[in-house]
């Protein structure tokens, strides 16, 4: 199995928003439009029900319904479906993982439990092993996002110890600014693992260290910007790549002013794929905030408008 998954996922993988109605219920009729926009913008995968997808604010049943809607939406495309099955309850995580395999997802992933936390890498492997085993036919990715889980463990050590007990361990969704650890993970065992970089505003840094795949929320609506960054980097035009990456930094700065997920959903509405509000405790944007956000985003000049014909469903 050595190297089997090393380049399983490459390119830009979007982390889609879970679409909701104004009353907070699921609005899965929007999913085909979200999917079509990803296809139109050259995105290679959809990492659903993760942080951007408000996974911990959804019921297990809602997450399964969302996964089924996405599977149907991408079935006739080349977009790969990665289902986040992470949960504080290991049995719910196992159920979500098994469900992902049953619907024909391409991979499954979990983040660390964030209430009762694993104190050691061995504890984390103990948690991951039965969840990965619930979907033995799917590549399994651990989703490292210490800023949200407050679990700060060595990812190189996790890959080494996890590989001995998790046969389908494919790699990581690496959402951390620790670039030393990123490079260590990518080089481990001659590049055996598929490491997906999860910091949109630092994509160029990831590329410079050898990253070939990235997962991020801004790839839902700003993928063309990141394709340009990648193209400039591959041509050796670092000046252009740096200038474009700075646009990403400015985009993230704007998102942080309003709340990243709420702002992201408002931008999706600008592109004709209205994903509705966020769930509490996150705060909805006011109409005044949305107007201000639109003005700031338009000033950046990074969105393709109107919605591409290919994405109109």
Neighbours of 45 (CB within 10 A): 26
Residue with tokens 């996890």: 162
The residues near 54 (Cβ < 8 Å, ≥ 6 apart) are 17, 18, 261, 278, 279, 282
Question: What is the CA 286 to chain-centroid distance, rounded?
Answer: 26
- Which residue bears the tokens 């646009």? 247
Asked whether the beta carbons of 28 and 19 are under 8 A apart, the reply is yes
Q: How far apart are CA 88 and CA 113, in angstroms?
A: 5
- C-alpha distances (whole Å) from 27 to each of 133, 259, 304 are 31, 21, 24
User: How large is the greatest C-alpha to C-alpha distance in the chain, in angstroms?
Assistant: 54
Q: Is 5 a catalytic residue?
A: no
CB 68 within 8 A of CB 96: no
Of the candidates 5, 141, 143, 258, the residue annotated as catalytic is 143
64, 80, 173, 247: which one is catalytic? 173
How many whole angstroms separate alpha carbon 34 and alpha carbon 272?
9
CA torsion sign for 101, 145, 252, 239 is negative
Among residues 125, 68, 80, 89, the alpha carbon closest in space to that of 107 is found at 80
The number of C-alpha atoms within 13 Å of 268 and in the hemisphere containing its C-beta is 32
Active site residue 143: yes
Active site residue ranges: 143, 173
């Amino acid at each position: 199995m050595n190297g089997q998954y090393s380049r399983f996922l490459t390119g830009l993988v979007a982390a889609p928003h879970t679409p909701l109605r104004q009353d907070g219920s699921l609005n899965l009729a929007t999913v085909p439009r979200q999917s079509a926009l990803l296809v139109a913008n050259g995105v290679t995968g959809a990492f659903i029900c993760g942080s951007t997808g408000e996974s911990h604010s959804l019921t297990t049943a809602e997450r399964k319904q969302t996964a089924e809607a996405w599977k149907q939406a991408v079935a006739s495309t080349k977009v790969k479906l990665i289902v986040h099955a992470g949960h504080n309850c290991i049995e719910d995580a196992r159920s979500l993982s098994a469900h992902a395999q049953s619907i024909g997802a391409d991979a499954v992933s979990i983040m660390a439990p964030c209430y009762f936390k694993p104190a050691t890498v061995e504890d984390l492997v103990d948690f991951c092993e039965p969840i990965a085993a619930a979907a033995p036919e799917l590549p399994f990715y651990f989703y490292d996002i210490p800023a949200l889980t407050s679990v700060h463990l060595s990812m190189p050590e996790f890959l080494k110890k996890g590989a001995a007990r998790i046969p389908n361990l494919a790699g990581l969704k690496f959402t951390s600014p620790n670039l030393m650890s990123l490079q260590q993970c990518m080089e481990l065992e001659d590049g055996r693992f598929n490491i997906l970089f999860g910091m949109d505003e630092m994509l160029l840094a990831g590329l410079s260290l050898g990253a070939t795949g990235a997962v991020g929320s801004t790839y839902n609506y700003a993928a063309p910007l990141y394709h340009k960054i990648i193209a400039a980097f591959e041509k050796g035009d670092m000046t252009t790549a740096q200038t474009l990456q700075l646009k990403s930094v400015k985009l993230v700065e704007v998102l942080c002013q309003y709340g990243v997920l709420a702002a992201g959903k408002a931008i999706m509405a600008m592109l004709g794929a209205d994903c509705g509000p966020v769930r509490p405790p996150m705060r909805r944007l006011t109409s005044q905030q949305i107007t201000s956000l639109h003005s700031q985003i338009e000033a950046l000049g990074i969105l393709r408008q109107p919605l591409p014909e290919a994405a109109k469903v």
